[in-house]
Structure formats: C-alpha cells, structure tokens
Structure 1
Amino acid sequence: MKGKLEWIYKSSKALETTFRSDEMEAVQAVMIAEDLKRTGRLKAVTFIDQAGTPWTVKELQNYLKEIDTEPHNITVYFDGGFDVSSKTAGLGCVIYYEQNGKSYRLRRNALVSELVSNNEAEYAALHLAVQELDFLNVHHLPVMFKGDSRVVINHLSEEWPVIEQHLYSWADRIVGKLKALGIRPEYELVARKANMEADRLAAQALKGIDIMAISERE
C-alpha cells in the first residue's frame, strides 16, 4: 500500500505548520513517522492512502503486521502470444511478492485454444495471472500489473474504450474478478524488453512446455 504522510510540526516558539510528503510505501511511512516523533516537535501525523483514507501510525503498524503472513507488495507481469496457423495461444505470467519477510517469484504458463487474436491472448494471460492471485489468497490489497500490450493496459486503465465485443468480455471478467477479491489494480505499460520473462513463458507454452513454479528470491 502506498500513500502520503501528513504531519503538524510545532516549533520551540509554539508556531505550527503542516507538511505533506511525497508518495511512499506504508512501511517507509512508519519508519519516517517514528523518526519525526523522535524530534519532539511532532504534534500529529497521519498516513493518507491512495484512496484518501486516513490512518494513524498505530493503525498502519497493525495493518503491516496483519498482511506480513500473506502475499503482499505484489507486482504482476503478463504476456500472451497467438499462433495464427494453429489457432492456439501461449499465456505467461510472473508474480513477484513478499510473505513472512521473504521475497518470492511465481511463474506460470498455459496453452489455450479457441482465441482469435494476439490481443485476446494478452487478455487471457492477464486473466491467468488474476486466477493465480486468487490461488495465492491475495485479497484487499493494491497490485501492480505490468504488460507490453498497449491495448490491454489502456483499456483497463480506462485510457481507451473497449469496442470489440470479445475483448470487452475479457475485460469485464477480469474487472469483476478483481472486485470480488478486493484487489485495487494499478496498470503500467512497459517495453517488451522489460517483459521478457512473461514473454518467454508464453513462447514455451506454445511449444508445449508447461511451467508452474514458485521460487524464493535473494
């Protein structure tokens, strides 16, 4: 979870002023808030999350304790590839997350049929990633989704309208699943080079190589 710190500073001459920080992760906000308290000049401090909800430092600390045993700080990469000759699609997703003080990487791919385009394959890859988040029991958390499909990213971030009916069905299914899980999505368009791992998984799926693995990261 990200947000901004807002605090009231009281000078030695009882003058007061309010400051607001840049956006930061909740864990960083707690550390800075504790630092500010040690100055002896802090009158009040509040963490404002991205939804505009205010949190006390104590509430934020409790929240961080609660989510530590569950997957959090999640970033998802997804990619889909469509083979015109066989009418099959390879889907790939990589999920980076933290749990119990450790960092993990989940890799998953799948071979599917009955799709009609590369754009649909990209949507199906994102849907696969959302299913994996469900299996990980991710809920009521922000999640960053990164992909190199301008169509999918711009559709779901509402930069572009979804006109094609078959793509609208995928978008509707994904948005509905995210809402059911309480996931607050953020979308980022990345260069294909930054999405190579998901791209490789999709290509391996087209070759009939199935991958499902979770590994701990250094």
Structure 2
Amino acid sequence: MITVFFDGLCSPRNPGGVAAYGYLIYRNGELLHRGWGVVGEGRGMTNNVAEYEALLAAIRWIQKNAPGERVVFKGDSRLVIKQMSGEWKVRSDTSRRYVPLIKSMLEGIDHKFVWIPRDENVEADALSKHAYEMHRRGRQE
C-alpha cells in the first residue's frame, strides 16, 4: 500500500503570496519519494492551490512509478480532504478547477483520503517550507 502525505502553503500572504507544496510517498512505511515545488506567485495563488498542486504532483509520480497500487492520501487541509472524499460541496473556482481533474486522474486507482492533524504532517509541511525558501532565495534544487 502507498501512503502519501501532502501539504501546501501560500506565504508571506494568503492569497497572493508564493504558493509552494511538499509531499512524501511511502510504501508500507518505507520512503519511496519526496517532492516539492512552487506553483507561482501573486494573483491566483492560495494555500488551497498549493494543496491541490501537491496532490497532482504526487499522483503523477504514482501513475509513473507505482501504478495499480492502493493509495491513501493524508493531508491536514480539511477542505481538500473533504472535497476529494465527496463529503463537502465544491464551490470555489479553485476547487472547481482541481477536484474534477484529480478525480479523473484517480479513476481506476483504489484510493481514499484521510484528514490528519497538522502535527502528523510535519514532514510534508517542512518540504513546502523548503520549496518556499528556495524560491525566496532564487535557488532551485
């Protein structure tokens, strides 16, 4: 089984700051991959955009490197988890853009979404902060 921890941020202000994300992918408790990135800066950037982009990046990696495996997505954004689980309605333009896309990418993949408290998501949070800091310093890794 694959477990994905994901997180996103928008700093120094939300909305309109730098949207960055991080994610970790484990198989049966063993780290397979970790990733991070910057979505953009300014208009249209929010925490939610960063969270959804983290999911997209993780799903792309899974499609390429672990197809057909059962996946559990864990995140501390109640909005993203509840919308992706179908428990909450999709109302914002951001959610209307991302939720159908992500659901279509997950077709045929046995998966579920689980909300976790922030203190159980510290590694993904640290990766999103790392991506932000690299961007702020004008560096890439």
TM-score by length of 2: 0.85
Taking the aligned partners of 1:187 and 1:171, their CA distance within structure 2 comes to 13
More strand by share: 1
Aligned match for 1:128, one of 57, 60, 67? 57
| Runs ≥4 residues deviating over 2 A | 84-87, 102-105, 138-141
Once the two structures are superposed, residues 91-147 of structure 1 have per-residue CA deviations (whole angstroms, 9 ceiling, x without a partner) of 10000015xxx94331110012154321121111111111111231x2233210000
| 1:94 lines up with 2:20 in the alignment | no
How many Å apart are 1:87 and its aligned residue? 2.7
| 1:145 lines up with 2:73 in the alignment | yes
1:54-69 maps to which residues of 2 (within 5 A)? none
Taking the aligned partners of 2:114 and 2:76, their CA distance within structure 1 comes to 9
Look up the match of 2:45: 116
Distance change >3 Å, CA 140–CA 105, structure 1 → 2? closer
* Other structure's SS at 1:207 match: helix
How many Å apart are 1:170 and its aligned residue? 0.7
TM-score by length of 1: 0.56
Look up the match of 1:167: 95
* Other structure's SS at 1:140 match: coil
* Other structure's SS at 2:55 match: helix
* Other structure's SS at 1:141 match: coil
Aligned match for 2:112, one of 162, 165, 186? 186
Look up the match of 1:57: none
Contact 2:24/2:31 (CA < 8 Å) preserved in 1?
no
Structure 2: gaps of 5 or more residues: none
Q: Percent identity?
A: 34
Larger Rg belongs to: 1
User: What is the number of equivalent residue pairs in this alignment?
Assistant: 133
Contact 2:48/2:94 (CA < 8 Å) preserved in 1?
no
Look up the match of 1:16: none
Aligned match for 1:206, one of 109, 132, 136? 132
In structure 1, give the amino acid aligned to 2:25: I
How many Å apart are 1:210 and its aligned residue? 5.0
